[in-house]
């Protein structure tokens, strides 16, 4: 069992059978995470460097835990405390790290395409942990694993992606992945936060949240990425909340069983009301656990680990 591509840079053009293999393998690792001793020797002797050029909480911890659960050796690099601050180039930094003999790099970077560039500089396997507004493939895979766990299928599943689509790498990777897996995707948010021509990727757009909720099996609710906006692209947080916020009141008007997802970090009271985030319909913390299992699957499949015991 292995994947067709050597690196995981994005889900655009990524083969459906490989996405399915990762999801199936993630379920196997979910069982490991439920054991009293949550560790297998699959990646013993492999060294993985986590290169974080941008802030992260859960993605970084999730990757690190996944590596430790697979018995890999891990090293963490943080741009804010590195020699980049002394003027060293990106190329020199990563080539020096690779000279210390590593097998894989997990990279988060504010510039779209940085992980692709990294593949030109190093021989190690490269996994994109989020590159600017471009892609965040492991997040989309954990989202799909969570949907698969909840519904048992992805083909024909109706998924609404709500909010700031323009600045969201989570949205783009989810769109590519879900469309590849045969799901139906509708985007909903302020017109200023939905990129023109995005329908060409095979999605629908509906600016009316209530209509989308009436239709959807699941909603993936996104954070407004204020830090990526030069100017405010909607009039006020209050208006955003009233048009696009997921509230208990709104949920009560619709089908009872809509599943609510959020990649985190959440802005409670803006895109999602606290009671919804903590409510029965939310699978937000399942996503976090599936994140560890999905990243274990990705690392295991890309690094060719031996069968786990």
Residue listed under structure tokens 């599936």: 290
With CB under 6 A as the rule, give the number of residues binding ligand NCD: 11
What Rg value do the Cα atoms of the chain yield, rounded? 19
Among 10, 115, 130, 190, binds ligand NCD (CB under 6 A): 130
**How distant, in Å, are the alpha carbons of 37, 107, 135, 276, 299 from that of 22?**
23, 19, 17, 30, 10
Q: Based on the shown chain and the rule CB under 6 A, indicate whether residue 223 belongs to the binding site for ligand NCD.
A: yes
| Binders of ligand NCD in range 236-295 (CB under 6 A) | 263-264
| Binders of ligand NCD in range 197-216 (CB under 6 A) | none
Print the binding letters for residues 40-59 with ligand NCD: x by CB under 6 A, - otherwise: ------------------xx
> Could you tell me how many residues make up the chain?
309
Helix (H, G, I), strand (E, B) or coil at 128: strand
| Binders of ligand NCD in range 133-152 (CB under 6 A) | 136, 139
Closer CB to ligand NCD, 61 or 182, in the complex? 61
Angstrom distance (rounded) from CA 181 to CA 16: 6
Q: Based on the shown chain and the rule CB under 6 A, indicate whether residue 170 belongs to the binding site for ligand NCD.
A: yes
Q: In the bound complex, what is the minimum distance in angstroms from residue 123's beta carbon to ligand NCD?
A: 27
Q: Based on the shown chain and the rule CB under 6 A, indicate whether residue 69 belongs to the binding site for ligand NCD.
A: no
Q: In the bound complex, what is the minimum distance in angstroms from residue 106's beta carbon to ligand NCD?
A: 12
Closer CB to ligand NCD, 143 or 184, in the complex? 143
Residue listed under structure tokens 């698969």: 148
**How distant, in Å, are the alpha carbons of 84, 204, 222 from that of 252?**
51, 24, 20
Closer CB to ligand NCD, 228 or 254, in the complex? 228
Closer CB to ligand NCD, 130 or 177, in the complex? 130
Indicate the residue whose CB is closest to ligand NCD. Answer: 223
Residue listed under structure tokens 């048992």: 152
Closer CB to ligand NCD, 58 or 268, in the complex? 58
**How distant, in Å, are the alpha carbons of 5, 23, 116, 132 from that of 26?**
18, 5, 25, 26
Q: Based on the shown chain and the rule CB under 6 A, indicate whether residue 163 belongs to the binding site for ligand NCD.
A: no
Q: Based on the shown chain and the rule CB under 6 A, indicate whether residue 174 belongs to the binding site for ligand NCD.
A: no
Q: What is the DSSP string of 285-309?
A: HHHHHHHHHHHHHHHHHHTTPPPP-
């Amino acid at each position: 069992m292995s994947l067709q591509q050597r690196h995981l840079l994005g889900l655009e053009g990524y083969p459906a059978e490989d996405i399915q293999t990762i999801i199936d393998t993630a379920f196997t690792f979910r069982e490991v995470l439920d054991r009293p001793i949550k560790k297998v020797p699959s990646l013993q002797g492999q060294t993985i460097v986590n290169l974080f050029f941008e802030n992260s909480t859960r993605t970084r911890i999730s990757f690190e835990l996944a590596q430790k659960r697979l018995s890999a050796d891990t090293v963490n690099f943080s741009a804010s405390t590195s020699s980049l601050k002394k003027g060293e180039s990106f190329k020199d930094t990563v080539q020096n790290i690779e000279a210390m003999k590593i097998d894989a790099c997990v990279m988060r970077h504010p510039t779209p395409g940085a992980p692709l560039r990294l593949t030109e500089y190093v021989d190690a396997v490269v996994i994109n942990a989020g590159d600017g507004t471009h892609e965040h493939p492991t997040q989309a895979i954990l989202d799909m694993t969570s949907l698969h766990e909840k519904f048992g299928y992805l083909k024909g599943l109706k998924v609404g992606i709500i909010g700031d689509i323009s600045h969201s790498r989570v949205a783009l990777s989810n769109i590519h992945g879900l469309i590849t897996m045969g799901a139906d995707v509708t985007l909903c948010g302020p017109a200023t936060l939905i990129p023109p021509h995005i329908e060409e990727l095979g999605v629908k757009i509906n600016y009316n949240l209530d209509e989308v909720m009436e239709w959807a099996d699941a909603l993936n609710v996104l954070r407004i990425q204020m830090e990526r906006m030069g100017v405010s692209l909607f009039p006020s947080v209050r208006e955003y909340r009233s048009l696009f916020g997921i509230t208990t009141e709104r949920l009560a008007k619709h089908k009872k069983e809509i599943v609510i997802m959020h990649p985190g970090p959440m802005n409670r009271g803006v895109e999602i009301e606290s009671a919804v985030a903590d409510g029965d319909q939310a699978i937000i913390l399942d996503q976090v656990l599936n994140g560890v299992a999905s990243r274990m699957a990705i690392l295991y499949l890309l690094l060719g680990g031996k069968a786990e015991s």
